[in-house]
Amino acid sequence: MAKELPPPLPAVPAGLWWRSFAALADVVPLLALSWWLAQRLAGPKELAARDAVGAFYDQLQKLSLQSQHTGSTAALWDLTLHPPEATLLAFATWSGFLGTTALCAVGGALTMQEWLGSGRTLGKRIFGLRTIDIGTGDGPGFVPTMLRSAWKAAFLCLPNPLFSLLGIINAHVPLFRKDRRAWHDLWTRTQVVEDTGP
């Protein structure tokens, strides 16, 4: 008679702090890469918008320094509260292009790392974490990985306050769940756990 083995122990959910540190280790280099890519891929329209936004910030800095010497902040407040329409259009053009570039770069890189790395990204490897499919215990498939990465990239990269607010709420959801799963974990049937495997 064959001896029955006990069932495997369930995976230990990753703590919120370790998970947050791993996300930062993943995202900060990818955002820097996105900024570099946007500078290289920008066409004349986007470059002109970037330069116009830079000139506006230079003008704000100049007025700020002048107001410190003169004590008058009227010109600084006027420019801050009533920027030229051309500057607003330039800001929308450049931030939209930068956000789109970052969304593609961050989303694509996170998807490929997690999918090809059996649930491990660079940050998860550093902090000893792993994403698993809750049904199989293996790394998630391509579609769940892509959906998780697209969600994270959207709230980090797109210049939209709604995405940012939802991202902040989502980041805190694991505090209130015993299994430490966020919304993107629930939607994709995944969980971030401590990595004990090979």
pLDDT tens figures, 36-59: 999 999 999 999 999 999 999 999
- 165-196 residue pLDDT tens: 998 899 889 889 888 899 999 999 999 999 87
* Total structural domains within the chain: 1
The enclosing H or E element of 192 equals strand 190-194
Q: How many Cβ atoms sit within 10 Å of the Cβ of residue 8?
A: 7
139 domain residue, yes or no: yes
110 domain residue, yes or no: yes
123 domain residue, yes or no: yes
78 domain residue, yes or no: no
174 domain residue, yes or no: yes
- 71-128 residue pLDDT tens: 888 888 999 999 999 999 999 999 999 999 999 999 999 999 999 999 999 999 999 9
132 domain residue, yes or no: yes
Domain that holds residue 109: 16-40+86-194
Give the per-residue pLDDT at 87. Answer: 94
CB contact at 8 A, 97 and 38:
yes
The enclosing H or E element of 132 equals strand 129-133
126 domain residue, yes or no: yes
9 domain residue, yes or no: no
Give the per-residue pLDDT at 132. Answer: 92
**pLDDT of 147 over the 90 cut:** yes
DSSP letter string, 70-88: H---HHHHHHHHS--HHHH
